Amino acid sequence: MNKPIIGITMGDAAGVGPEIIMKSLHDPLVYESCRPFVIGDSKIMERADRFVQTGLQIRSIQSVSEAQFQYGTVDCLDLNLLPADLPIGQVSAEAGHASFSFLKKAIELANAGEIDAICTAPLNKEALHKGGHIYPGHTEILADLTDTKDFSMMLSAPKLKVIHVTTHVGIIDAVKMINPERVYKVIRMAHETLQKAGYTSPKIAVCGINPHAGENGLFGYGEEEEKIIPAVKQAQEEGIQVVGPLPADTLFFRATRGDFDIIVAMYHDQGHGPIKVLGLEAGVNITVGLPIIRTSVDHGTAFDIAGKGIADEQSMKEALRQAIELAPKRV
């Protein structure tokens, strides 16, 4: 059996994560292509199934070796950190701490070679902080716990891929943080990631910071010339097929048309906005630069609809698909 083993972290138990996991694992095609199991809390997964009514059985396990990976049964590595009556749709320190613990356990299993990839359900940043873990999000936790210095967030939708130079910082801080070294490293990460995914010579486009990419100094204070152009030239000299900086207002349209394989965005909303316009259910978040494979849904905990059984699982299924595709192949 050489199908990859995928550890699915439950995320924030008060949100829709458990529900979309149950809905995704109700699809037999998932089990045909991988060996999935959940890292979380069996009680919460059982409660989630009462909302979504898949009829799947939850099987509590204490180690990956106990997992059976059989369709119809959801193996759950049960950390038993939460009460059965945890309030739904509310920020909770308990749920925040548990979501961190689920991810930490997944990282330990990946580092030990027991799983091939991690697929994460959403966590809530406020709950995470209340639980004593002060991180902006999943990406930064993964980088910290794997001692990774150079990493980036890549968003992937059917017609568009975007990788970010900066992410969870304010716009003024983002501009300060952008420099030629960082831009070059992100271009390189984009190139290498797509090559591993089968692109022989990925076509990369780099966004400008200012409107019209500065338009030769008309807008801004020369940020493109100082922070971006040296990085693009360095990558080009190494044979990477990259152009820019280009105006962001037209660049994303050109990429969806097929002109480019991936866009390097300078800051969070520059990259996230266009992806999410294409549909939250289609987007997947991939952390690039880690020693392990991690994919995630590209939406939040959706507290407003948690417990109603109506959350869309398509982003989770796509995240699983990409985890399977990117995972190292077992022999």
Q: How many Å apart are CA 201 and CA 18, to the nearest integer?
A: 39
Backbone angles phi, psi at 8, to 5 degrees: -105, 115
- Tokens found for residue 15: 């949100």
**What is 5-149+309-326's CATH topology?**
Isopropylmalate Dehydrogenase (3.40.718)
State residue 214's pLDDT score.
Answer: 65
Q: Where along the chain do the CATH 3.40.718.10 domains lie? A: 5-149+309-326, 159-274
Name the H helices within the chain: 17-25, 28-33, 42-52, 93-111, 125-130, 138-145, 171-177, 180-196, 223, 229-237, 248-257, 268-277, 314-326
pLDDT-based confidence at residue 2 (cuts at 50, 70, 90): confident
Q: How far is CA 41 from the centre of its chain?
A: 21
Predicted local distance difference test score (pLDDT) of residue 272: 87
Phi-psi region of 80 (alpha: psi -120 to 50; beta: other; left: phi over 0): left
Of 282 and 254, the structure prediction assigns the larger pLDDT to 254
Kindly indicate whether the domain formed by 159-274 is annotated with CATH number 3.40.718.10: yes
Interacting residues of 273 by C-beta distance below 8 A, sequence separation 6+: none
Each residue's pLDDT tens digit, 160-217:
899 999 988 899 999 999 999 999 999 999 998 888 777 889 999 999 999 887 677 7
pLDDT tens digits for range 41-64: 999 999 999 999 999 999 999 999
Encode burial over 164-181: b for 16+ CB neighbours within 10 A, e otherwise.
Answer: bbbbbeeeeebbeebebe
Looking at residue 329, its pLDDT comes to 61
Given a cut of 90, whether residue 251 has pLDDT beyond it is yes
Distance CA 300, CA 311 (A): 11
Q: What is the pLDDT of residue 194?
A: 86
- pLDDT at residue 279, as a whole number: 66
pLDDT at 268 over 70: yes
113: pLDDT strictly greater than 70: yes
Which tokens go with 89?
């749709």
Mean pLDDT: which of 18-22, 198-202, 221-225 is highest?
Answer: 18-22
